[in-house]
Amino acid sequence: MLNIDMRKIYNFHPVEPTPNPESLPVGGDIYYECLDCSVIVSSMPYINVSCSCGNLSGSDGDLKVKNLVLVQVVRGTLK
């Protein structure tokens, strides 16, 4: 897995209104921030990704979230 700090490439802003944790949105500009380890990953990862603590992990367009309470949905725009 690549260890890329997404904050060097994108500006992130929380999605408003805050989405229901039971039905998190996905999309090309939607990312999830793990509130436990502060790592940001794509909502639709096509390479193997995971956050440092393992709360977020996925590949092939599918992301798995272990603890929904520790996720903040953010929108990313290129710097």
pTM of the model: 0.91
Residue 3: its pLDDT value, please? 74
CA angle, 62 as apex, 38 and 22 as ends, to 5°?
70
Residues in the chain with pLDDT values less than 70 = 1-2
Whole-number pLDDT of residue 1: 57
Label residue 27 left, alpha or beta by phi (over 0 means left) and psi (-120 to 50 means alpha): left
d(CA 18, CA 26): 14
